[in-house]
Amino acid sequence: MQTSFPAVVISGTGLYQPPHVITNAELVAAFNTYADQQNALHADAIARGERQPLTHSSVEFIEKASGIKQRYVIEKDGVLDPARMYPRFAPRGDDELSLMAEIAVDAAGKALAQAGKTGADIDAVLCSSANMQRAYPAMAVEIQQALGAGGYGFDMNVACSSATFALEQAFNAVRTGASKCVLVVNPEITSAHLEWRDRDCHFIFGDVCTAVIVERADAATGPDQWEILGTQLATQFSSNIRNNFGFMNRAEDRDPNARDLTFYQEGRKVFKEVVPMAAAHIEAHLAKLGLEPTHMRRFWLHQANQGMNQLVIKKLVGGEAGSEVAPLILDEYANTASAGSIIAFHHHRGDLKAGDAGVICSFGAGYSIGSVVVKKR
């Protein structure tokens, strides 16, 4: 006898947008000053051929490589200080709300308002992010308390796929009856783990937080409901995107500022390997649901690279597709790790009509790929 599951919907999304903008021009000016200072400092070693000089960045290079034009950050001055080149956050006491929880509560409040819910309606909080502020206690439990939610909360990390992986957990929890109304939050303070002193990646990330409400359709009262038709996750190990920072670093007796303790990647390898994986993943997921890529009104894809997204869509629909099919938000927000596809969904779904379907898909380190197929009710 086949079990019948209730319909599950996304009934609200929320977005926290940081107060500061860093344009490509500002970022390039700071980086080039840093590069000049380092080249002057190590001039003798460079002259002897023992060290390679740092190369200038440029606005043209950034936009051609990524499509990014600016990014939002929580703190700007530290990032643009050539003597520092990373944000400056004020420490908070253990009795104060943490920074990650603060931005998650902001985004969650907006999602709750859109769904017509309050914190008391939530019985599960999933905090899914590429980088957690601390190991424990779980950020999700702190967010749960701040919102007055019940049930339980836990953290999870699948790098840039964290949001879609969490949405599957929320979907399954609701349809099996384990939870009634789940909050998924994706606080991404990427400015703290980006290597702003590396020309190849100094422009990639921005800060943000997204929130999504997942609940039973028969309990949803919000005006904008998207039924989740299915979810699919996949992972395949690769070290081409990596960050080795963690609690074991101090036991290794090495440089605490070592390059591998911030974000680094083999960008060309990632592009070549992930694009076909992502396209094949989406195609297979849709086939399992009896759908074709050309049936989809919209693809809300991970926002890492403009060229990557265009190639994924080309493989899926067999031709070029503009912002109507695959909206881009990374020109304004940059890569926001797990939050990118959710920002695209948040900003670019209002024009779709009842019955229209689309795919939320993220892909990143791991490698990891998560897809969520939704239909407007």
Residue 361 annotated in active site: no
Let me know: does 82 contact 30? Beta carbons within 8 Å. Answer: yes
Q: What residue spans of 218-339 are helical by DSSP H? A: 267-288, 306-317, 330-333
Q: How far apart are CA 108 and CA 126, in angstroms?
A: 11
Instruction: For residue 98, give the H/E element and its range.
Output: none
Contacts of 339 (CB under 8 A, 6+ apart): 163, 186, 188, 208, 209, 210
Q: Which residues pair with 369 in a beta bridge?
A: 234, 363
Tell whether omega for the bond before 367 is within 30 degrees of 0, i.e. cis.
Answer: yes
Report the alpha-carbon distance of residue 30 to residue 300 in Å, rounded: 33
Q: Which of 160, 201, 209, 361 is catalytic?
A: 160
Tokens 């200080």 sit at which residue?
81
Helix and strand numbers (H, E) in the chain are 10, 13
Residue with tokens 């384990």, as numbered in its chain: 178
Query: Is residue 41 packed enough to be buried (19+ CB in 10 Å), middle (13-18) or exposed (0-12)?
Result: exposed
Measure the CA–CA gap between 102 and 232, rounded to whole angstroms: 30
Token couple for 113:
């308002």
Active site residues: 160
